[in-house]
Amino acid sequence: MANFISEFSTLVGQQVTIKGWAYNVRSSGKIAFLQIRDGSGFVQAVVVQAAVDEESWKVASEATLESSFVVTGEVTKHPKQEGVYELQVANLELVQKAEEYPIGKKEHGPDFLLDNRHLWLRAPSQWAIQRVRDEIISATYDYFHEHGFTKIDSPILTPSACEGTTELFEIDYFEERKAYLSQSGQLYLEAAIASVGRCFDFGPVFRAEKSKTRRHLTEFWMMDAEMAFVEHEENLKIQEELVSYIVKRVLENRAAELKILERDVEPLKKVQAPFERMTHAEAIAILRKQGSDIGDMDDLGADDETTLTKMYEKPIFIERYPSAVKAFYMKRDPSDPTRVLNADLLAPEGYGEVIGGSQREDDYEELLKRIREHNLPEDAFSWYLDLRKYGSVPHSGFGYGLERLVAWICGLHHVRETIPFPRLINRLEP
């Protein structure tokens, strides 16, 4: 059984066998250096001609980028770098000799790298991003399971929109029916809270809006959570705890990956509850002082969010938006019915919205009124209205976009780097 490079700190002085790929190759006279990647980490394999058999030296001297190998040798500490290890090769076996690799060391444009995404995923930076992504997912599950939440799987195929938007992917269903790819599992989770109390889902969602911004994909992963007997203030507290928990986990478990990405971790160390908080009205006043012409009842745009998040070191809750710009299911603020009990969480350093959440309307007549005001088909939401007939309770929820969290925590400019195979309005391959 092969060893993993990630285990090398415990294997110094021992002979091991690893299986992996050469992501860099160089030689100097009678010594060859193969940078090996095995999925768990990276190591320099040192092949000295005098220390290996003739076949191993032939394999090393003819090695090409991305060829695959079985390598046996002794683990040693790097002579100059603390915490770095090398492999002194005793035997090198070729698994497959790769053809000339199309991604060279020169600069490549984003379109070329997206066309070759199936190969670009092998780059150390992409490896690091996917490992951070995995840690965020794992931390999310751990936080929720430690706090009494149950995972509920909501459907991908839905009969109607969650938020009344027309920007849905429509598909032909059976017997001339239409169905839509889900935008969110929220409404279904609201049904589940009367069973399990607190729940979350995590899966792909789809938005057909023709957006080309650095924050949008047509297919992305969403975490939605819903909680019975939780009102606005407690909803924000849970979001603070979750985000702080996730960032702390990444800092603890993915420091090496953040280093590969050259991420300045000092801003991330400041992500601790409590977060900054302001009302929508207060945010508008601040933006106007910064030169914005945003209106009193306008939703915040990406530029507005960027402006605000560059002013604070911690994430910011913007709460109590105008009801006119928010979804039908959000509960009105009792102190000002023109506003809703909601909040968007903006990530610092210019990254903007990563979470949207609200207290949900729990009164049957009020919810029916909102559905009619939004010109939504009542029959499509009859089951959702039922939830307010049979034991309705105050409840709240929120959702985060995984790719936006990954972009912020990794310090990436565009969300297309955060998902293995991005789907954009002009890209469906590979």
Give the per-residue pLDDT at 166. Answer: 60
Give the per-residue pLDDT at 161. Answer: 61
Average pLDDT over residues 245-260: 98
Average pLDDT over residues 380-385: 92
Task: Say which DSSP state 104 is in.
Answer: -
* Cα Rg of the chain (Å, integer): 26
Q: Are 78 and 45 contacting, i.e. CB atoms less than 8 angstroms apart?
A: no
- Interatomic CA distance for residues 189 and 198, integer angstroms: 9
pLDDT of 57-104, one tens digit each? 999 999 999 999 999 999 999 888 888 999 999 999 999 999 999 997
Give the per-residue pLDDT at 164. Answer: 52
H or E segment to which residue 131 belongs? helix 124-146
Residue 25 C-alpha from the chain's centroid = 33
Q: Are 186 and 399 contacting, i.e. CB atoms less than 8 angstroms apart?
A: yes
Lowest mean pLDDT among 47-51, 136-140, 194-198, 298-302: 298-302
pLDDT above 60 for 329: yes
Burial class (CB in 10 A: 0-12, 13-18, 19+), 235: buried
Give the per-residue pLDDT at 210. Answer: 84
Portions of the chain given CATH number 3.30.930.10 = 118-417
- Interatomic CA distance for residues 269 and 317, integer angstroms: 18
pLDDT of 143-177, one tens digit each? 999 999 999 999 999 887 655 556 889 899 998 88
Give the per-residue pLDDT at 33. Answer: 96
Please give the mean pLDDT across all residues of the chain.
94
- Interatomic CA distance for residues 310 and 307, integer angstroms: 6
Give the per-residue pLDDT at 96. Answer: 98
pLDDT of 341-373, one tens digit each? 999 999 999 999 999 999 999 999 999 999 999
Give the per-residue pLDDT at 18. Answer: 98
Q: Output the CA–CA distances (angstroms, integers) from residue 177 to 158, 161, 207, 300, 382, in the order listed.
A: 11, 15, 20, 36, 18
Portions of the chain given CATH number 2.40.50.140 = 5-96
Name the class of domain 5-96. Answer: mainly beta
Give 201's pLDDT tier (boundaries 50, 70, 90). Answer: very high
- Interatomic CA distance for residues 58 and 39, integer angstroms: 25
Give the per-residue pLDDT at 43. Answer: 97
The tokens describing 286, both together, are 């601040």
Give the per-residue pLDDT at 81. Answer: 87
pLDDT above 90 for 263: yes
Average pLDDT over residues 113-121: 95
The architecture of the domain spanning 118-417 is 2-Layer Sandwich (3.30)
